[in-house]
Amino acid sequence: METWKIVIGIVVLFALGLLVFFDQYCREKYDHAFLSKRALTISMGAMVFLVAGNIYCQIPHRPPKELIAVSWTLFAICAAIFVYIIYENIKATNYWVGLAGSAIQIPLLAFIAM
């Protein structure tokens, strides 16, 4: 069991090193940072809408149409914010680097925002 903990620790450190290397590469080449305070703030805003929609779904004694309208609207706002992040990343870099950075950035910053 101790061996697996060491292996997992090494893999996590290697992944963090690659993440820092990728972000540094994008800062130097495109002058765009994927892991920035602005991106974290925007991700926090998106997660607020996601959590609010989830909480609203769990409120009892609501008409089904109201639950669908309100909760899905909050989920759609969250999705629109994440699409905006992807758009900004692609606009600042190129298509493939923007998509790859967004695929790393969104789950990581959403996890940190939670």
pLDDT at 65: 81
User: Model pTM?
Assistant: 0.83
Segment 13-48, tens digit of pLDDT: 998 899 889 989 999 999 998 888 999 999 999 999
Q: CA 9, CA 27: separation in Å to the nearest integer?
A: 27
Residue 86's contacts (CB-CB under 8 Å, 6 or more residues apart) are: 98, 99, 102, 106
